[in-house]
């Protein structure tokens, strides 16, 4: 594997001062057999005469390469050095490049359903050199003029509008100036559905094997797309700026989606082949809105360097959630955000790897990749929600429009945006930005209730990160009344950046006092003891789903921190979840509770805790509407928690299945997976199911199930796949890792704890980027909650040569284990 140097911020600044890139003219020939393709590229750029610079470039071989007609030496370690530059330059290269199976560069996929081949280009964050020589940094924007030669039966789509296609040759119009990481294409015998809206051509692309599912779901996808476009056009003065709006659903895509201008790419699991919940449909709508927000935040105006990643992801996260709720039928997106996304941000912000939303400096692209986390997405979005509460929506939108106008098709920084927001709002935002954007970690807000019902808000911060912040919040007072719960009042309060803030205009005791009602701020919330005691009775009766989400999130977070026992959580789940009507809350509570039961319970207490979760899901299953989302969520939760293998086996055979519950392909796999974990099914049943479902999803499920088989042979084979198999694709490695560790199999798995810490450094040399990060995270022995696991982690972390991705994953996982050990003892 070629050793590729990470691009530093200093190098990027120097290169930006040296060159001005105008155009990439790229022709890819993908008609050959094997694992390589041909790339012919012309890069046109200006430079400081006589200067030296470099491009990222990782060819297998170079057939020809000239700068202004003169041959140049081959690249070394992924860098093509060019010297004695002219004022105007043209680099022309013909090279053989290698396809990827890691979701980076030009990824090649063979569909097990029909043998069809599909390609997609993913150059993010520093992978442009895998396809062509490029100045691979966000502030060197250029126009892309792309052409492709491919099998005549294929179709090809790129960022640019199609100019012509005939005889296996596609020509595309040049794009507006975009950053290298935003250039993409999707190619293969894919199925397309087209439409138009408000003068904008629309298209949806998917593998042929999913054609019938896309046809069924296209009306919903187009409706959401049109609704979001309309809402963004209402909010922003500059209309959608990139011509057509295409959306491709690609196999084995590393991200949930990526905001390529003109051609957004999604994981193709978002084209559903089995029954899904309304929560999943809402999530897909949110992703569509999120990626569309990037057309302005990231594509039209791009961060100058990765330290301003928040200008991309925080804004897309905030606007995606907001626009989905405002423009589509999904009206509970802030409930989902409070329950799910913000919890992700809080976890990341409390890890050893925490960083500010807008760091002063991101040293290189390796560090930049690691900052694509819950802080840059969810914490940043929650911070923006707080900013809107402070300055008002009208001023916020005015500042954004001025920002777009000033920097369209260019690059911008934190200072650029703050200047426009300050001008629009008439407020100096420098102090706000310092404490919210430049400083890491999270505050905790607690309620102090006086004997007379008076309320003060107590604010604390971790000793290592002692920043206190101003918070604008809602405080809800809830009372039990005639078998119901009513919110007596909702008071808007401004919490000062101090240890204690009195709240005026509140009097009289309430059964429950809910801080941050409405979820306006980003903070950990802790209830007073009287409110805590009332939660099991009050929570199920609160009518506002967002208030219930804030309560559930606070409860789960207190358990994570070891302030409340996991036994108390599962008791609350049994009491409150069977009457919960919001499917997103059901799904997230079950996911989080199951994780906590598996890690925070001991071997002696886990069976009883798991049984309570199974009882809760069984009760919810019994009262849910047949065929509805709650029923499906309850069934999935029950399958994951039950140890009743006989009942699950009956369901697979169609016996005793709850009315309305479809035992479709994906639910069959989930049932089989649980049976495999319990030792009630094995390789023969997995092979039979894969014969029944020889699809991409079936292949992935089969890999996960095989890794979960409780035998020494199966575990050894799975481990080899994880740490050695360079031919296995990113998704299949990840699914294998996700099935490997099982709480029911810890005795069998004991030898692999030490092997993880011994062998993962070598694994990092055969994988890279996001695929490597996800694999080492999924393969971590988080279920082996033992001081010895922490000792091995410390030993590995003491190595000076440790890959930065592996270091960060191990640091954060070890911190989670520290909490689990403390909660157990």
**Distance (Å, whole) CA 18 – CA 12:** 10
Helix (H, G, I), strand (E, B) or coil at 389: helix
CA dist 608 → 381, 537, 590, 743, 761 (Å): 38, 23, 16, 14, 38
Rounded-to-10 torsion of CA 514, 520, 523, 527 = 0
Both tokens of residue 629? 């989302």
Q: CB burial class (10 A; 0-12, 13-18, 19+) of residue 568?
A: middle
Q: Is 313 a catalytic residue?
A: no
**Distance (Å, whole) CA 457 – CA 499:** 8
Query: Which residue has 């206190």 as its token pair?
Result: 468
**Closest C-alpha to 373, from 811, 9, 817:** 811
Handedness of CA 395, 398, 402, 404 (dihedral sign): positive
Q: How does strand 484-495 pair with strand 263-267?
A: unpaired
Rounded-to-10 torsion of CA 500, 502, 507, 510 = -30
> Which letter does DSSP use for residue 794 in this model?
H
Q: Which of 104, 173, 291, 782 is catalytic?
A: 291
Cβ-based neighbours of 501, under 8 Å, separated by 6 or more:
456, 457, 459, 493, 494, 495
Element (H, E) at 195: strand 191-197
**Distance (Å, whole) CA 176 – CA 173:** 10
Q: State CA 546 to chain mean position distance.
A: 22
Report the residue count for the chain: 825
Cβ-based neighbours of 358, under 8 Å, separated by 6 or more:
307, 308, 310, 414, 433, 437, 438
Buried b / exposed e over 504-521, threshold 16 CB at 10 Å, is eebeeebbbbbbbbbbbb
Contact criterion met (CB below 8 Å) for 403 and 238: no
**Closest C-alpha to 572, from 634, 619, 616:** 616
Residue ranges of the alpha helices (H) in 450-565?
A: 529-538, 545-560
Catalytic residues: 291
């Amino acid at each position: 594997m070629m050793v590729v140097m990470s691009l530093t911020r200093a190098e990027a600044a120097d290169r930006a001062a040296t060159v001005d890139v105008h155009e990439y003219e790229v022709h890819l020939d993908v008609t050959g057999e094997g694992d390589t393709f041909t790339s012919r590229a012309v890069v046109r750029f200006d430079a400081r005469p006589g200067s030296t610079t470099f491009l990222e470039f990782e060819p297998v071989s170079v057939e020809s390469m000239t700068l202004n007609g003169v041959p140049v030496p081959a690249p070394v370690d992924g860098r093509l050095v060019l010297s004695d530059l002219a004022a105007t330059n043209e680099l022309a290269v013909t090279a053989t490049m290698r396809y990827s199976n890691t979701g980076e560069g030009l990824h090649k996929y063979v569909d097990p359903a029909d043998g069809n081949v599909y390609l997609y280009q993913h150059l993010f964050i520093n992978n442009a050199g895998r396809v062509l020589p490029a100045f691979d940094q966000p502030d060197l924007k250029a126009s892309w003029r792309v052409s492709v030669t491919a099998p005549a039966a294929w179709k090809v789509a790129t960022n640019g509008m199609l100019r012509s296609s005939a005889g296996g040759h596609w020509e595309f119009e040049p794009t507006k100036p975009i950053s290298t990481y935003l250039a993409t294409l999707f190619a293969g015998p894919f199925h397309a559905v087209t439409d138009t809206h408000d003068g904008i051509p629309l298209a949806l692309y998917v593998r042929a094997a999913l054609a019938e599912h896309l046809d069924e779901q296209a009306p919903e996808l187009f409706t959401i797309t049109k609704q979001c476009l309309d809402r963004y056009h209402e909010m922003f003065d500059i209309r959608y700026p990139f011509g057509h709006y295409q959306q491709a659903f690609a196999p084995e895509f590393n991200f949930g989606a990526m905001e390529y201008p003109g051609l957004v790419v999604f994981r193709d699991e978002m084209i559903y082949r089995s029954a899904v919940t309304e929560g999943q449909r809402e999530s897909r709508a949110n992703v569509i809105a999120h990626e569309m927000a990037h057309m302005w935040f990231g594509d039209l105006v791009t961060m100058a360097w990765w330290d301003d990643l928040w200008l991309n992801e925080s804004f897309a996260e905030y606007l995606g959630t907001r626009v989905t709720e405002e423009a589509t039928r999904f009206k509970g997106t802030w409930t989902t955000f409070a329950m799910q996304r913000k919890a992700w941000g809080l976890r990341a912000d409390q890890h050893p790897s925490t960083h500010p939303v807008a760091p002063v400096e991101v040293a290189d692209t390796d560090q930049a990749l690691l900052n694509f986390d819950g802080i840059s997405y969810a914490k940043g979005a929650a911070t923006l929600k707080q900013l809107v509460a402070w300055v008002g929506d009208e001023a916020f939108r005015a500042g954004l429009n001025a920002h777009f106008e000033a920097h369209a098709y260019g690059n911008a920084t934190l200072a650029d945006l703050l200047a426009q927001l300050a001008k629009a709002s008439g407020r100096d935002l420098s102090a706000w930005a310092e404490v919210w954007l430049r400083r890491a970690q999270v505050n905790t807000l607690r309620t102090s209730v006086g004997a007379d019902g008076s309320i003060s808000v107590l604010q604390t911060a971790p000793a290592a990160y002692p920043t206190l912040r101003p918070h604008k919040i809602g405080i809800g007072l809830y009372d039990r009344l005639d078998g119901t719960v009513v919110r007596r009042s909702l008071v808007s309060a401004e919490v000062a950046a101090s240890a204690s803030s009195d709240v005026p205009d509140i009097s009289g005791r309430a059964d429950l006092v809910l801080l941050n009602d409405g979820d306006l701020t980003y903070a950990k919330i802790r209830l007073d003891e009287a409110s805590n005691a009332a939660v099991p009775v009050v929570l199920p009766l609160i009518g506002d789903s967002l208030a219930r989400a804030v309560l559930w999130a606070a409860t789960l977070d207190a358990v994570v921190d070891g302030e409340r026992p996991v036994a108390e959580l599962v008791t609350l789940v049994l009491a409150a979840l069977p009457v919960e009507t919001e499917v997103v809350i059901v799904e997230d509570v079950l996911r989080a509770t199951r994780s906590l039961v598996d890690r925070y319970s001991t071997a002696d207490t886990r069976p009883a805790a798991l049984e309570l979760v199974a009882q809760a899901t069984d009760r919810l299953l019994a009262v849910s509407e047949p065929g509805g989302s709650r029923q499906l969520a309850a069934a999935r939760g029950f399958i994951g928690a039950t140890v009743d293998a006989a009942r699950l086996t009956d369901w697979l055979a169609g016996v005793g299945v709850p009315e309305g519950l479809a035992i479709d392909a994906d639910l069959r796999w989930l049932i089989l997976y649980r049976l495999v974990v319990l030792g009630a099914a094995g390789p023969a049943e997995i092979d039979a199911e894969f014969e029944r479902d020889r699809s991409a999803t079936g292949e992935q499920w089969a890999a996960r199930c095989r890794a979960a088989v409780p035998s020494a042979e199966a575990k050894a084979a799975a481990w080899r796949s994880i740490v050695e198999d360079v031919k296995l694709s990113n998704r299949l490695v990840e699914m294998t890792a996700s099935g490997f560790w099982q709480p029911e199999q810890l005795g069998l798995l004991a030898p692999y704890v030490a092997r993880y810490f011994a062998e993962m450094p070598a694994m990092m040399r055969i994988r890279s980027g996001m695929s490597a990060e996800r694999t080492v995270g999924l393969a971590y022995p988080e279920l082996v909650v033992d001081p010895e696991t922490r000792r091995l982690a410390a030993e590995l972390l003491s190595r000076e040569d440790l890959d930065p991705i592996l270091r960060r994953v191990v640091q954060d996982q070890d911190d989670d284990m520290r909490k689990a050990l403390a909660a157990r003892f």
